[in-house]
Amino acid sequence: MAYSNKVIDHYENPRNVGSLDKDDPTVGTGLVGAPACGDVMRLQIKVSDDGVIEDAKFKTFGCGSAIASSSLATEWIKGKTIDQADEIRNTEIVEELNLPPVKVHCSVLAEDAIKSAIADFRAKQEASRALTGE
């Protein structure tokens, strides 16, 4: 498989690998994919009071383009508001990384991971608002 230089760069120097505390109320965690399909992504965001993504971390089990897609996703969403991050489309990832057609599903998974992390964060916020009776 001939990968673009951008995929190779993200693969060899992945940005933002790691974990955030999933129990922290300001952290949202998305876990998407399945081991049997050959790719699993976990993407986490830490969101400030004004809704800006202060930090993002990922861990990915998958091929080179899955790792690159998730690395790129964390890079893009950092500093964005959660609403802006929610608007990132997989096609933008495909374009940026020059993914071949057989690897498009990796970008879909990265978009899902962002959405899933945001949804988790929002659900936590809802739950804490309900608790404090706001």
Q: How many residues bind another protein (CB under 8 A)?
A: 32
61-65, Cβ contacts within 8 angstroms, sequence gap of 24 or more: 61/33, 61/35, 62/33, 62/38, 62/106, 62/109, 63/38, 63/39, 63/103, 63/106, 64/1, 64/3, 64/7, 64/8, 64/11, 65/3, 65/7, 65/97, 65/99, 65/103, 65/106, 65/107
Q: Which of 21, 25, 37, 129 touches another protein (CB under 8 A)?
A: 37
Kindly list the catalytic residues.
37, 106
Q: Which of 27, 45, 66, 110 touches another protein (CB under 8 A)?
A: 66
- If one asks whether residue 86 binds another protein (CB under 8 A), the answer comes out as no
Q: Which of 20, 31, 104, 119 touches another protein (CB under 8 A)?
A: 31
- If one asks whether residue 127 binds another protein (CB under 8 A), the answer comes out as no
- If one asks whether residue 15 binds another protein (CB under 8 A), the answer comes out as no
- If one asks whether residue 97 binds another protein (CB under 8 A), the answer comes out as no
Please state, in angstroms and rounded to a whole number, the distance separating the CA atoms of residues 133 and 98. 48
CA dihedral for 92, 52, 115, 40, sign (positive or negative): positive
- If one asks whether residue 100 binds another protein (CB under 8 A), the answer comes out as no
Q: Which of 40, 53, 77, 99 touches another protein (CB under 8 A)?
A: 40
Residues that bind another protein (CB under 8 A): 1, 3, 8, 11, 14, 17, 19, 31-42, 59-64, 66-67, 102, 105, 108-109, 112
